[in-house]
C-alpha cells in the first residue's frame, strides 16, 4: 500500500480511519526467522527526523543488518497523529534493507490508540508485514498492575474493550504496553515481547534501534 502524505490533520484522521479498518488482529504469518526493531528521533531545530531499522536473528538476537534514513519532518506535531511524522522515515530506512523482516516490533502503540491505529498498525498495514506495538508508556486505557514476576500481564482496557496488555518484562520493573500492530494476535504479541526481553525491560529490537537512531542523530 502506498504512503499518502496528508495535507492537513483532518485528512490524516480520515486516512487513519481507513488504515484502522484494515488491521488484521489474528496471526497471519509464516515462521519468523528475521525480526526487526524500528525507532525514530527528532532534531526539531534542524527540522529533521531520523528513522532507524535493525534486523535481528529471531533466535539468537544477533544484529544482521541496520539502516537509517534522515528526512525533513513532513507533518506537524499533532497529538494522536504522530505516526504521520514517524512512518515516512521508517519506510525509507526499511526500503534499504536487503533482509526482509518477518516481524517488526515498534517502539510505540498499535491498536492501543484512540483511533485504534498507532504507528505499529500504520506501518504494518502499509508494508503488509506483521507488527507489534510495544510502548514504554501508556497512551490511554485503564489496567490493574500485573504481578511482579517476569511474564505477568494484565488487560489494558478502553471503553470496555481490551486494547492491549500490560506486561512485566523483568521482575519488579515497570511494565511495558503491548498491543497488536498488524497480522499478529495479542497473545502472540505478548509471547514475542516476553521472549525479546531476556535481560532488560525493553525488547532487544527496541534497544538496538534506539541506540542506532541516537548515534545517527548526533551526526546530523
Q: Find how far residue 111's CA is from the centre of its chain.
A: 10
Going from the N-terminus, what domains does the chain have, and what CATH number goes with each?
Answer: 9-218 (3.30.2170.10)
Annotated binding site for Mg(2+): 39, 107
Least confident of 149-158, 178-187, 208-217: 208-217
Segment 77-92 mean pLDDT = 93
Residue found by looking up cell 539502516 in the block: 67
Q: What is the pLDDT of residues 100-131, one digit of tens each?
A: 999 999 999 999 999 999 999 999 999 999 99
| Averaged pLDDT, 30-36 | 96
pLDDT at position 16 is 94
Q: How far apart are CA 110 and CA 170, in angstroms?
A: 22
Q: Which pLDDT tens digit goes with each residue over 49-64?
A: 999 999 999 999 999 9
Task: Average the pLDDT over 12-25 and give the result.
Answer: 95
The alpha carbon torsion through 102, 28, 195, 97 (nearest 10 deg) reads 10
Judged against a pLDDT cut of 90, whether residue 35 lies above it is answered with yes
Residue list, annotated binding site: 39, 107
- Confidence (pLDDT) at 217: 83
Structural contact between residues 123 and 151, judged by C-beta atoms closer than 8 angstroms: no
d(CA 103, CA 183): 9
Does 2 score more than 80 pLDDT?
A: no
Amino acid at each position: 500500500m502506498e504512503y499518502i502524505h496528508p495535507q492537513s490533520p483532518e485528512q490524516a484522521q480520515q486516512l487513519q480511519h481507513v488504515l484502522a479498518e484494515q488491521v488484521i488482529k489474528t496471526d497471519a504469518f509464516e515462521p519468523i526467522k528475521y525480526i526487526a526493531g524500528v525507532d525514530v528521533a527528532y532534531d526539531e531545530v534542524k527540522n529533521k527526523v531520523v528513522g532507524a531499522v535493525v534486523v535481528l536473528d529471531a533466535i539468537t538476537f544477533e544484529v544482521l543488518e541496520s539502516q537509517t534514513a534522515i528526512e525533513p519532518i513532513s507533518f506537524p506535531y499533532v497529538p494522536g497523529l504522530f505516526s504521520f511524522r514517524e512512518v515516512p522515515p521508517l519506510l525509507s530506512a526499511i526500503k534499504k534493507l536487503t533482509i526482509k523482516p518477518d516481524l517488526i516490533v515498534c517502539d510505540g502503540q498499535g491498536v492501543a490508540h484512540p483511533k485504534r491505529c498507532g504507528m505499529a498498525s500504520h506501518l504494518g498495514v502499509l508494508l503488509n508485514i506483521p507488527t507489534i506495538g510495544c510502548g514504554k508508556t501508556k497512551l490511554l486505557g485503564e489496567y490493574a498492575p500485573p504481578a511482579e514476576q517476569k511474564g505477568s500481564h494484565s488487560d489494558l482496557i478502553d471503553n470496555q474493550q481490551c486494547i492491549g496488555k500490560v506486561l512485566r518484562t523483568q521482575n519488579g520493573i515497570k511494565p511495558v504496553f503491548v498491543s497488536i500492530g498488524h497480522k499478529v494476535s495479542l497473545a502472540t504479541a505478548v509471547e514475542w515481547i516476553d521472549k525479546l526481553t531476556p535481560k532488560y525491560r525493553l525488547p532487544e529490537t527496541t534497544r538496538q534501534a534506539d541506540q542506532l537512531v541516537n548515534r545517527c542523530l548526533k551526526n546530523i
